[in-house]
Amino acid sequence: MTCVRTLPSDAERMKNTLLRLMLLDRRRAVQHSNSYVYFPILSISNAKLKRVIERAGGRIVQRATPVLPDKLAHTDLLARVMTRAELALIPRGFDLLGSIAIVEIPRELEPRSSDIAEAVMEANPRIKTVLAKAGAVSGVYRTRKLEFVAGKRDYIAVHRENGCTFRFDVRKAFFSARLAHERSVIVSQVRPRERVMVMFAGVGPFAIEIAKAHPDAKVVAIELNPDAHSYMLDNIELNRVGNVKAVLGDVKTAAKDFSGFADRIVMPMPKTSAEFLDEALLVASRTAVVHMYAFSSADKPFEALRDSIIRHSSRRGYSVRFLPGRIVRPYSASEVEVVVEYVISKRGIHAGVAGQKRHATAGS
């Protein structure tokens, strides 16, 4: 059987690459040896896809891999004890952070919370704790109220993705595992010795994954939430990345200390990133790539955001070139989360508008 062989340190990134290319064969088992991880893949004859896999650190080999037994989802287990109408109300997915599952339980099914949680744990043995969403993500610290439902009463997640480990209290800091692929995409675009600014950095996933994959990069990560900032400091040490400078503060204020610093700017706060175009311009070097995440209309996901960036560039006197945008995920029936990527060029801009001094402060 055809497999992709990779080092354990590259396994998570390789898995995301294979999922993106729709090559991972989910019917067969991933295997491990002392030195390598083997991912079973579907038939591949495209030379371009093979080169993508090789550039990501993989090698195509032949290896016997067993077929996995059929696995029941939590909704299959609940079908034994719930009516069809009740099952129709249950979301098929949930957020998985380490061994903690965060589920959304409709109000009508709150009396069945224990049944739902037990089914989630039975279908996924790695899950030890089930928490229920008790409100939306809100406030300047982007936190959500959670209620314990079943399993071990534990709120500290130890989450692994893309070869990095993140430890944090799920009640005190925002973290989206659904952005794991996005983080790997950004990491793959960073070039040698780049200076990267991550705004709204949370517990550090974008910053730390970039820093670990690119030890010669210098990364500044700004976060307003004191709890998230504290966990980011812990995660920098946990992942042994010395090239990240974690800054506690408001981007509106903290950005002033990094005028002209960044070759690349990541803005992963979709609700309000578009309100920080001045700060993106301020921290940008003469030429800089910006990755701005935002919520947008599902019908026209990019037009309004690009228009606002063009208007901003006209007022501030810099030029902008757009790169292909991406739809990250559906957000609601009418909205999607997107990433708008564009290149800032400050050639000819007045220095007083967005200073040009580069600060070599990250990792120092």
Lookup: tokens for 239: 């992942």
211, burial (CB in 10 Å: exposed 0-12, middle 13-18, buried 19+): buried
Lookup: tokens for 221: 């990560």
Q: What is the mean pLDDT of residues 98-107?
A: 94
Is the full-model pTM beyond 0.95? no
Task: Calculate Rg over the CA atoms of the chain.
Answer: 22
pLDDT tens digit sequence for 302-351: 999 999 999 999 999 999 999 999 998 888 888 999 999 999 999 766 44
**Amino acid 348: pLDDT:** 60
CA distance 218 to 205: 15
pLDDT tens digit sequence for 216-271: 999 999 999 999 999 999 999 999 999 999 999 999 999 999 999 999 999 999 99
Q: The sheet that has 146-151: what strands, in order across it?
A: 95-97, 100-103, 129-133, 146-151
Residues of the chain with pLDDT > 90, as a percent, come to 67
DSSP E strands, the chain: 2-6, 31-32, 37-40, 59-62, 95-97, 100-103, 129-133, 146-151, 156-161, 164-169, 195-198, 218-223, 244-248, 262-267, 284-297, 319-322, 326-330, 335-345
Please, what is the Cα angle at 236 between 141 and 282, to 5 degrees?
60
Confidence category of residue 282, pLDDT binned at 50, 70, 90:
very high
CA distance 223 to 79: 43
**All domains in the chain, ordered by first residue:** 2-62 (3.30.70.2580), 74-154 (3.30.300.110), 185-345 (3.40.50.150)
CA distance 190 to 195: 9
**Amino acid 362: pLDDT:** 44
